[in-house]
């Protein structure tokens, strides 16, 4: 079961067949989501095959309305597919009961959203520990882990601040800490830099690079080229279909000099 994308597509493109030795952390097969019926039927996701290997960062780019957010929601169990399969760490999850799925979302998947989704009445550390408490950890363990994670995202001194007292970039870093607290198999990020200015984007970029270096499996959907460019592998989505795929690593290092006029 080699991964990658549908083989029926244009052979001139750089299709990559994932040669993941072990099992992919995240896998989709012929994944579909349709809305409406008959003539007005709309395919938001129209037959996506996808493998994300352990420790890999994968980005999906595409114009707005191409179905990339819907795809992420299907992969994270936030939405039910109309057809196809989703596998997480070797288990099929698209056919789970609502209850089992909710449990899985709390423990095995970390979410990062464009608009942070923090609880405004809770402090940074309370926002982060909440997910651990909901997953059944003891208050002491939850607090300790939350403080460790805030330290890791560079916000140890902001732990007692309410979200309203934090900048956009800081809020997103709190959200990333929250996503990590239950040591999820995969972190799914939907436009994580969509609401951030350039400096804050750079902070989130650095954080994602750190997570990647630490072996965290990450999937990002975005139209921000900067965050997409942190990925090992990039896919392009159009009209609900993955139409292009490329590996970003190991390409041009050493040729950067040409970009600043130092060589031809």
Partner 1 sequence: MRQEVVLALLAKEPSHGYELRARLREALGPLGEAMNAGQIYVTLTRLEKAGLLAVETSADGGDRPDRKVYALTADGQQRVAEWIAEVAWPRPDLAEFHLKLVAAASAGLADPLTVVDTQRRELLRRLHDAQRAAIAATAQEGAALLLEGVVLRLQADLRWLEACERHWTRRRSGS
What DSSP string runs through 69-120? HHHHHHHTTSS--SEEEEEETTEE-TTS-HHHHHHHHHHTEEEEETT----T
Q: Binder to partner 1 among 228, 237, 241, 242 (CB under 8 A)? A: 228
State the Cα–Cα distance between residues 28 and 94, nearest whole angstrom.
10
Q: Binder to partner 1 among 236, 237, 241, 242 (CB under 8 A)? A: 236
Q: Binder to partner 1 among 78, 130, 134, 248 (CB under 8 A)? A: 248
Site string for partner 1, 58-87 (x = CB under 8 A): -----x------------------------
State the Cα–Cα distance between residues 44 and 235, nearest whole angstrom.
16
Q: Binder to partner 1 among 96, 178, 223, 237 (CB under 8 A)? A: 223
| Nearest distance in Å: CB 207, partner 1 | 11
Q: Is 259 in the site for partner 1 (CB under 8 A)?
A: yes
State the Cα–Cα distance between residues 111 and 256, nearest whole angstrom.
34
* Maximum C-alpha span of the chain: 60
Across the strands, what pairs with 244? 236
Q: Binder to partner 1 among 17, 100, 102, 225 (CB under 8 A)? A: 225
Structure tokens at 164: 């309203």
Run of H or E residues at 220:
strand 218-222
Task: Name the burial class of residue 76, with classes exposed (0-12), middle (13-18) and buried (19+) by CB atoms within 10 angstroms of its CB.
Answer: buried
Q: Binder to partner 1 among 11, 14, 38, 199 (CB under 8 A)? A: 14
Site string for partner 1, 187-206 (x = CB under 8 A): ------------------xx
**Considering only 10-18, 36-44, 136-144, 160-168, which stretch makes contact with partner 1 by CB under 8 A?**
10-18
- Residues in touch with partner 1 (CB under 8 A): 10, 12-14, 63, 205-206, 209, 223, 225-226, 228-231, 234, 236, 238, 243-244, 246, 248-249, 251-253, 255-256, 258-260
């Amino acid at each position: 079961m080699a991964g990658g994308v549908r083989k029926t597509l244009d052979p001139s493109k750089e299709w990559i067949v994932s040669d993941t030795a072990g099992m992919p952390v995240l896998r989709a097969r012929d994944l579909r989501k349709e809305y409406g019926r008959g003539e007005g039927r709309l395919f938001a996701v129209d037959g996506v095959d996808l493998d994300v290997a352990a420790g890999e960062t994968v980005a999906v780019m595409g114009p707005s309305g191409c179905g990339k957010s819907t795809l992420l929601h299907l992969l994270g169990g936030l939405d039910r597919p109309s057809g196809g399969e989703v596998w997480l760490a070797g288990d099929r999850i698209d056919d789970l009961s609502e209850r089992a799925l909710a449990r899985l979302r709390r423990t095995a998947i970390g979410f990062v959203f464009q608009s942070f989704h923090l609880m405004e009445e809770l402090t940074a550390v309370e926002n982060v520990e909440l997910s651990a408490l909901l997953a059944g950890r003891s208050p002491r363990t939850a607090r300790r882990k939350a403080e460790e994670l805030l330290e890791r995202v560079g916000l140890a001194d902001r732990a007692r601040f309410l979200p309203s007292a934090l900048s956009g970039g800081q809020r997103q870093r709190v959200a990333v800490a929250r996503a990590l607290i239950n040591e999820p198999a995969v972190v799914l990020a939907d436009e994580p830099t969509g609401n951030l200015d350039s400096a804050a984007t750079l902070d989130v970029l650095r954080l994602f690079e750190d997570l990647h270096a630490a072996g965290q499996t990450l999937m990002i959907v975005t139209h921000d080229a900067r965050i997409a460019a942190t990925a090992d592998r990039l896919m392009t989505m159009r009209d609900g279909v993955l139409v292009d795929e490329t590996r970003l690593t190991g390409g041009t290092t050493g040729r950067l000099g040409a970009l600043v006029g130092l060589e031809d």
